[in-house]
Amino acid sequence: MGEPNYPHMSKRFYLTTAIDYVNGQPHLGHAYEKIITDVIARARRSLGEEVFFLTGLDEHGQKVEQAAVAQGKTARAYCDELAQTWRAFTAKLNLTNNDFVRTTEPRHREIVQAGLSKVNASGQVYKKIYRGFYSTKEETFLTEKDRRSDGTFDPSYGNVVELEEENYFFKLRDHQSWLIDYIEKNPAFVRPDYRRNEVLGFLKNNVLEDLCISRPVSRLSWGIPLPFDPNYVTYVWFDALVNYISIPAAHGDPVVRSSLNLQPLNPDPQLSLWPADLHVIGKDILKFHAVYWPIMLKAMGLPMPRQILVHGWWQKDGQKMSKSTGNVVDPVAVIDEWGLDAFRFYVLRELDIGPDGNWTDAGFRARYSAELANGLGNLVNRSLSMLKRYRNGVVPARSNELASDAGKVIESTRAALEQNELQAVLQSIWSLITRANQYVDQTAPFKLAKDPAQAKRLDEVLYNLAEICRVLAVLLWPFLPDTSVKIYAQLGLPAVPDKFSMANWGGLAAGQQIGEPAPLFPRKDA
């Protein structure tokens, strides 16, 4: 098969989330990661890039099989049911994902098998008898090294059983020094830096054990069969990680298809996606993404993803979230009560991407009231209400008094978006909101309105305020899409403010008739 040649295709900015296990309901942690990724996807589109955003579900494995059995269902029926809940959840979060993968789909299975065949054919898989311990909860083999000083295994492993089993292993060890070298030469491969150092520390201080990539069908049937031995299914992580290339392959990606010896897709639309630009994941699954995944890709002859962005974990009230104690944040309940944008705002403003965070209801309310209702909401509402009251809602002639303040924030926003520094973007946008609210207090348009000699000055102030609201709507689009559209509508602008270039000062034309001002974030006095 010759090298495919698709001259019409340009590589898209391709970003992914971890795919969630289907053995429960979505919680704050899942929502957080998907929102981070959605904001980055929207921001890149707004900056003019073509984007492909993938999220989805990890459906195989013993945990899922056991959960299904416990409910008296087949694994497939159980997954199909929960998949509906999770898909509805992506809509609830207003995610702009371009596809949604389920690892039980044939299009995924085909690529997992092609990948396994390739790795096997290149001599990187061997079979051996394994004797040792196994944690079903974590679906992982344990060794003596994993015992604690008192001889027991950490309770997080659940019930640990002793096993003797013949399995297939993937040679990781051969790639260890290559990987250390790769991560050292590519400082942006794992972000933030302390996570990169963690991976390097792990790789330099441990000899990589070869990875067991099979489970006998007799013990686990809910998985993808090994193409070279039907008595086994694939280990869940080998299956799950491959989603990042299986969906590109299903969309005709030439890099993945040719390296796995698959025919080009014709005449289906072909997208150029691989290598991924960004994998967004939580800190607990760093080793899988920064150690196993690069080695799997190398063994399949595929280029490395450009960056793995690692976020921290949320706690609630200083405690680990746990279904059994009821200490969870249910994103759907918060969204129903406070609105989606308030939820999106809080998680991104409260927690930078990297460290761990702590959700408190009081903290959520405080930000809602100070930053959303009194900050952004009040600015937009009073600016547009005054324009309505004093000028019948007709935008006066252009004035540039706040143009340079806006310009600085536009530039710092662009720079921070390019670095995926989402919390910094919100801080910078809120500095403009504060500046504009001070401007209202300093210029006191309600006083100017009483003095006919100040009519021109009032025009200037009203223009600057309305234009700042418009600029804010554009800058906020990736974060608070509903609010951003509402601000545009209240300005009487029918467009969706989804292009970053629309933020340039002066977009609001004199004579424009604005719409109806209405509170963006109703105050909730409890």
SS (H, E, C) 141-209: EECHHHECCCCCECHHHCCEEEEEEEEEEECCHHHHHHHHHHHHHCCCCEECHHHHHHHHHHHHHCCCC
CB atoms within 10 A of CB 431: 14
Q: Work out how close the CB of 311 gets to ligand MSP at its nearest, in angstroms, rounded to a whole number.
A: 6
Q: Which is nearer to ligand MSP, 314 or 521 (CB)?
A: 314
Q: Which is nearer to ligand MSP, 281 or 299 (CB)?
A: 281
Q: Which is nearer to ligand MSP, 300 or 491 (CB)?
A: 300
Q: Is the peptide bond before 230 cis (omega within 30 degrees of 0)?
A: no
Q: Work out how close the CB of 288 gets to ligand MSP at its nearest, in angstroms, rounded to a whole number.
A: 7
- Which of the ranges 18-26, 127-135, 392-400, 492-500 carries the binding residues for ligand MSP, by CB under 6 A? 18-26
User: What DSSP line would sit under 229-256, residue for residue?
Assistant: EEEEEE-HHHHHHTHHHHHHHHTT-HHH
Q: Work out how close the CB of 149 gets to ligand MSP at its nearest, in angstroms, rounded to a whole number.
A: 28
Binding to ligand MSP (CB under 6 A): which residues in 486-505? none
Backbone angles phi, psi at 99, to 5 degrees: -155, 165
Distance of CA 24 to the CA centre of its chain: 19
Does the footprint of ligand MSP cover residue 350 (CB under 6 A)?
no
The neighbouring-strand residues paired with 55 are: 100
Q: Which is nearer to ligand MSP, 25 or 258 (CB)?
A: 25
Q: Which is nearer to ligand MSP, 58 or 253 (CB)?
A: 58
What amino acid is encoded at 468 in this protein? Answer: I
**Torsion from C-alpha of 115, 116, 121, 127, nearest 10 degrees:** 160
The token pair at 450 is 């009483």
Does the footprint of ligand MSP cover residue 241 (CB under 6 A)?
yes
Site string for ligand MSP, 56-95 (x = CB under 6 A): --x-------------------------------------
- Which of the ranges 126-134, 223-231, 237-245, 470-478 carries the binding residues for ligand MSP, by CB under 6 A? 237-245
Does the footprint of ligand MSP cover residue 240 (CB under 6 A)?
yes
By CB under 6 A, how many residues form the interface with ligand MSP? 19
- C-alpha span between 243 and 237 (Å, rounded): 10
Q: Work out how close the CB of 309 gets to ligand MSP at its nearest, in angstroms, rounded to a whole number.
A: 11
Does the footprint of ligand MSP cover residue 321 (CB under 6 A)?
yes
Q: Which is nearer to ligand MSP, 355 or 519 (CB)?
A: 355
Q: Which is nearer to ligand MSP, 349 or 391 (CB)?
A: 349
Does the footprint of ligand MSP cover residue 314 (CB under 6 A)?
yes
- C-alpha span between 41 and 450 (Å, rounded): 47
Q: Work out how close the CB of 502 gets to ligand MSP at its nearest, in angstroms, rounded to a whole number.
A: 33
Task: Select from 374, 371, 378, 434 the least CA-distant residue to 402.
Answer: 434
- Which of the ranges 19-27, 168-176, 179-187, 208-216 carries the binding residues for ligand MSP, by CB under 6 A? 19-27
Q: Which is nearer to ligand MSP, 241 or 395 (CB)?
A: 241
Q: Work out how close the CB of 129 gets to ligand MSP at its nearest, in angstroms, rounded to a whole number.
A: 28
- Which of the ranges 35-43, 235-243, 263-271, 457-465 carries the binding residues for ligand MSP, by CB under 6 A? 235-243
Backbone angles phi, psi at 478, to 5 degrees: -65, -30
Binding to ligand MSP (CB under 6 A): which residues in 274-313? 281-282, 284-285, 313
- Please report the sign of the dihedral spanned by the C-alpha atoms of residue 92, residue 95, residue 96, residue 99: negative
Task: Select from 246, 304, 312 the least CA-distant residue to 278.
Answer: 304
Q: Which is nearer to ligand MSP, 119 or 329 (CB)?
A: 329
- C-alpha span between 28 and 316 (Å, rounded): 9
Q: Which is nearer to ligand MSP, 114 or 240 (CB)?
A: 240
What amino acid is encoded at 335 in this protein? Answer: I
Tell me which residue has its CB nearest to ligand MSP. 282
Q: Which is nearer to ligand MSP, 287 or 389 (CB)?
A: 287
- C-alpha span between 452 and 45 (Å, rounded): 46
Of residues 12, 13, 14, 18, which one binds ligand MSP by CB under 6 A?
18
User: What DSSP line would sit under 333-363, residue for residue?
Assistant: HHHHHH-HHHHHHHHHHH--SSS-EEE-HHH
Q: Which is nearer to ligand MSP, 44 or 311 (CB)?
A: 311
Would you say 448 and 457 are in contact if contact means Cβ atoms under 8 Å apart? yes
Q: Work out how close the CB of 473 gets to ligand MSP at its nearest, in angstroms, rounded to a whole number.
A: 29
Site string for ligand MSP, 23-62 (x = CB under 6 A): ------xx-xx------------------------x----
Q: Work out how close the CB of 93 gets to ligand MSP at its nearest, in angstroms, rounded to a whole number.
A: 13
DSSP 453: G
Would you say 133 and 163 are in contact if contact means Cβ atoms under 8 Å apart? yes
Measure the N-to-C terminal CA separation of the chain; round to a whole number of Å.
Answer: 68
Q: CA of 477: how far to CAs of 256, 264, 437, 503, 519, in Å?
A: 33, 37, 20, 11, 18
Q: Is the peptide bond before 267 cis (omega within 30 degrees of 0)?
A: yes
Q: Work out how close the CB of 150 gets to ligand MSP at its nearest, in angstroms, rounded to a whole number.
A: 28
Q: Which is nearer to ligand MSP, 156 or 442 (CB)?
A: 156
Would you say 102 and 80 are in contact if contact means Cβ atoms under 8 Å apart? no
Residues forming the site for ligand MSP (CB under 6 A): 18-21, 29-30, 32-33, 58, 240-241, 243, 281-282, 284-285, 313-314, 321
